[in-house]
Amino acid sequence: MSSVPSRITVPKFVAMKAAGRKITVLTAYDYPTARLVDAAGVEAILVGDSLAMVVQGHASTLRATLDEMIYHAEMVGRAAEHALVIVDMPFPSFLVGKYKAIENAARVLKETSCQAVKLEGGVDQVEVIEALVSAGIPVMAHVGLRPQSVHRQGGYRVQRDREQLLADAQAADRAGAFSIVLECIPADIAREITAAVSIPTIGIGAGADCDGQVLVLHDLLGLTAGHRPRHAKAYADLGTTITDAVARYRDEVREGVFPSEEQSFR
């Protein structure tokens, strides 16, 4: 009998809310890390446009392009056997009219083996969410801190406008989104939103009462260069592990210890 858990589909993901089962989501951007993340048993992998920052080294997510998202999503989609794979729609690929948004989101589903898209927006993106959903494209919405609106929001700040946050989440729910990311909002507002919507809320910096949580893989692994946000717990220090391993290799080459007989051919 196979020990591989069955594939998480959008309906199974949604059903976890009613079942009271917490949902774990983590980002990944390439084949080897997506395989490890998938094997660890998370319910969903997000190919986030955070790749512009943590993989490409840019100062914001605004630099990610649709072609780049598809390039990374194709690798992640091929690696995942269990997790639902959701791909971020980069700025401004869904802000260019609903027909162009369908065309762009459809490219993600046609050119990768991923199953859903995510877009930043609530009330303001109702028309686009409805259009994508009626085209058969599952949509995860994203409200609260919206990294693609960093300039309008004046930086990466906790969002506290309760009425706006609630309206955004409820609008996304009504428009047919299957889930909503709540980023950097007070825990009590996230709790209220989670109770008020029918679909799973996935928090990042939104407290413990969301239906699930998402983290950026590089933050979790201790690979983030520079500032790691307060909400992003590091479960490992792979940055130090990698630097130490490379330094040992450098030393062994310099000292003539590597390669030894064991790594040599006769």
Report the interface residues with ligand KIV, using CB under 6 A. 27, 46, 48-50, 88, 181, 183, 204, 214, 216
B/e letters for 5-37, b = 16+ CB within 10 Å, e = fewer, are: eeebebeebbebbeeeeebbbbbbbbeebbbeb
Tell me, rounded to whole angstroms, the distance of Cα 118 from its chain centroid.
8
Q: How far is the CB of 26 from ligand KIV (least distance, A)?
A: 9
Q: How far is the CB of 46 from ligand KIV (least distance, A)?
A: 6
Q: How far is the CB of 99 from ligand KIV (least distance, A)?
A: 25
**Which residues on adjacent β-strands are paired with residue 201?**
180
Q: Which residue is nearest to ligand KIV (CB)?
A: 48
Q: How far is the CB of 43 from ligand KIV (least distance, A)?
A: 14
Cβ–Cβ < 8 Å for 41, 82: yes
Residue closer to ligand KIV (CB basis): 82 or 146: 146
- CA 70, CA 247: separation in Å to the nearest integer? 35
Residue closer to ligand KIV (CB basis): 46 or 114: 46
Q: How far is the CB of 201 from ligand KIV (least distance, A)?
A: 12
φ, ψ of residue 110 to 5 degrees: the values are -80, -35
- CA 245, CA 179: separation in Å to the nearest integer? 40
Residue closer to ligand KIV (CB basis): 23 or 204: 204
Q: 77: exposed, middle or buried (C-beta count within 10 Å: 0-12, 13-18, 19+)?
A: buried
Catalytic residue list contains 183 = yes
Residue closer to ligand KIV (CB basis): 227 or 266: 227
Residue closer to ligand KIV (CB basis): 24 or 258: 24
- CA 90, CA 66: separation in Å to the nearest integer? 6
Residue closer to ligand KIV (CB basis): 182 or 197: 182
In the set 68, 183, 261, 262, the catalytic residue is: 183
**Which residues on adjacent β-strands are paired with residue 87?**
47, 117
The four Cα atoms 122, 86, 182, 172 give a dihedral, to 10 degrees, of 30
Q: How far is the CB of 118 from ligand KIV (least distance, A)?
A: 7
Cβ–Cβ < 8 Å for 159, 184: yes
Active-site annotation, residues = 183
